[in-house]
Every structure is written in C-alpha cells, then in structure tokens.
Amino acid sequence: MALLDIAGLSVRFQTNSGLFTAVENVDIQVDHGDVLSIVGESGSGKSVSMLATMGLLPWTAQVSAERMAFDGQDLQQLGSRQRRRIVGGEMSMIFQEPMSSLNPCFTVGTQIDEMIKQHKGGSRRERHERALELLAQVGIPDPARRIKAYPHQLSGGMSQRVMIAMAISCDPRLLIADEPTTALDVTIQAQILELLLKLQEEKGMALILITHDMGVVAETAKQVIVQYAGRQVEQQEVRSLFAHPRHPYTEALLSALPERAAGQTRLPTIPGVVPGQHDRPTGCLFNPRCRYATEHCREVEPVAAPDDPARTLCHYPLGRPDAEPSSGPSPGVSPETSSPLRPEVRP
C-alpha cells in the first residue's frame, strides 16, 4: 500500500468571476522512502495539490478527491483533530520562501520546540536537547547560539535549514518540499538539496519535491510527475523521462535545460504562458504552445490511453510508433517536419 495515495484530486477556488479550477484530476502515489518530483511552470497547480493534501488551502478553496489517503487513513474523513495529528507529525512540509515562513516574533528554538511539544511531548529539557540536535543535523553551525536567534537574524539558507529542522523534528514519514531552493542563492540551492536527500536517506522518509527546475529533478527524484495548467500530463521514472519524454511539454521543458542547449546560440524557450482562468484554450490545454499541435488537438481534449504506463495526456505521445497523427483529422503541422529533439540522459 502506498504511503500517500491520492486519486482524482481537484481543487477549485471561488473567485469574483466564478470558480477557477486550479487542479484537476491529479493522481499521486508515493511509497515509503520514495522520492517523487512534481514539475511544471508557475501556475501548473503543483503547490496547490500539495497544500490541499496538507489541508492548508484558504477557505475559498474547494477540494475534492476520489481517494486521499495517508498510510491507509482517509484524510477527507478525518476530523480536524485527527488530521492535525498527521499534519506536522507524520507528514510535514517546507516552503518556497524560508525568510517569511518563520514567525518573526519567536526565536528559532521556540518555533522548533512548539512543533515537538505538539506531536511528541517530553520535558522542556528533552525538547531543548532535541532542538539542538536537530539544528546540528541540518548543518547549522553553533546551534547553542542559533537556537536563541530570531528569524530576521538568519540568512535565507539558514532559515530554510531551520524550516527543515522543524519539519523533520517529529520524524515524519513524508516530507513535502515546495520549491525549497527557488528563493535561495545558487550555491546554497545545491547544499539544501543535498541536505534534503541525505535526511531522506538517513530517516527513510518519503520525499515529495515540487520544483520547476528539471536540473533539480535529474539530481534528486526517482519518480516524476509533470503537471501543466492543473493537470497531470505525464508520469515516469526519472531516467526514462529524461531519455524518452512522452508529452511535448516535458520535451520542451527538457530542451530548455542549458546543458542540453550546448552549441546553440539561444536557449530554447517555451513561447507563451500557462493559461489562467480566462484564457483557457479549447481542446488540449497545451495546444497554443505545442510545436506539434494539430486541428484535432485544438478541438478535442486528450485523455490518457489506458495501456500507457506514463499516462500521457496527449493525442500524439512522443516516441511511439503510433505517434504520427495518421488516424487523426488532417494535421496542421506534421510532426515529421519538426522532428522532436531526442534528449540524451544526463550523466
């Protein structure tokens, strides 16, 4: 049984101009000790689906799912008290902006202590010892001094380390990291990722890493889910995803990696932006930005083929013999004329 088992998750927001569907029909399975990455641009609903799992969305959000279970317990059925036992204790989360994610009014020690007190209890002294140990574990120099520091006295990298210390303080079985390195310096990014992976391995916890950086995915994940405009467009094991992307969006993301653009004068980009509430195209949501889009793509919404393990949300998945739109209506652009780049697996 998967540790986190989500099926058919949809999230809608009440806005002044009606309901906005931020996430639609997303399935996520994470096993014990697994590392899953959810990739996509801003606005693809990566964070929203995880915030929904944690129960952290504002009241304007309507969450529905066929199944939303953590370790066999249905999160939708749990009362708020029971759910709070899981959230923070067994399933914890760190966020994109470490500097603003810590409460400016309390010391680092108080904020870690509060978490331990909530889920583990123990005497004041025990909790203090534990907090010191955690700070050392996440690589904060001089924990005895830092534990008394206020968040504004810490750098972004240090704040994220504190957030990680707090998140792992109760030995969660699942850690969700929502773009944990986006707001940090490049040099710090690598350190934080390394730390997350080291802790994941040591503690045997599962890790969900939300990112828009394919480079991060390559270095960390085992499984990858690619999301676009609130939908899951592809799901693969990391090596085969890099070797044989199935969805044109995945392919486009991969070819935008600087490493892959070696020799080219310009870094390839994906033209346009993720559609918002008011500019949703008909048919496939990716069609206005897709280099392979046909008339058929513009008219009919794709569904994943039942026999496709990657569950590619595309009429013409790449890398398959039947990918040519021979059976579809007359194509506007032939895939042969713009044959897809074949990306190699990164070393």
**Binding string, 79-98, against other proteins, x = CB under 8 A?**
-x---xxxxxx--xx-x-x-
Q: Tell me the one-letter amino acid at 232.
A: Q
Q: Tell me the one-letter amino acid at 49.
A: S
**Please, which residues bridge with residue 225 across strands?**
38, 235
CB of 80 to other proteins, least distance (A): 8
Which of 131, 254 has the CB closer to other proteins? 131
124, 125, 152, 278: which one contacts other proteins (CB under 8 A)?
152
CB of 123 to other proteins, least distance (A): 20
24, 114, 219, 295: which one contacts other proteins (CB under 8 A)?
114
Which of 166, 233 has the CB closer to other proteins? 166
CB of 345 to other proteins, least distance (A): 35
Instruction: Give helix 124-137 / helix 156-167 axis angle, nearest 10°.
Output: 130
119, 146, 161, 260: which one contacts other proteins (CB under 8 A)?
119
Q: Tell me the residue length of the chain.
A: 347
Whose tokens are 């026999």? That residue is: 307
CB of 276 to other proteins, least distance (A): 20
**Binding string, 157-196, against other proteins, x = CB under 8 A?**
------x--x------------------------------
CB of 203 to other proteins, least distance (A): 18
Which of 79, 306 has the CB closer to other proteins? 79
Instruction: Give helix 124-137 / helix 108-119 axis angle, nearest 10°.
Output: 120
Among 195, 235, 202, residue whose Cα is nearest residue 219: 195
Which of 89, 319 has the CB closer to other proteins? 89
Determine the Cα–Cα distance for residues 44 and 274; give it in Å rounded to an integer.
7
> Stretches 104-112, 139-147, 287-295, 320-328: which one binds other proteins (CB under 8 A)?
104-112
Per CB under 8 A, does 238 bind other proteins? no
Report whether 226 contacts 249 (CB < 8 A): yes
Determine the Cα–Cα distance for residues 250 and 286; give it in Å rounded to an integer.
11
By the criterion CB under 8 A, which residues form the site for other proteins? 54-56, 80, 84-89, 92-93, 95, 97, 100-106, 114-115, 118-119, 150, 152-153, 163, 166
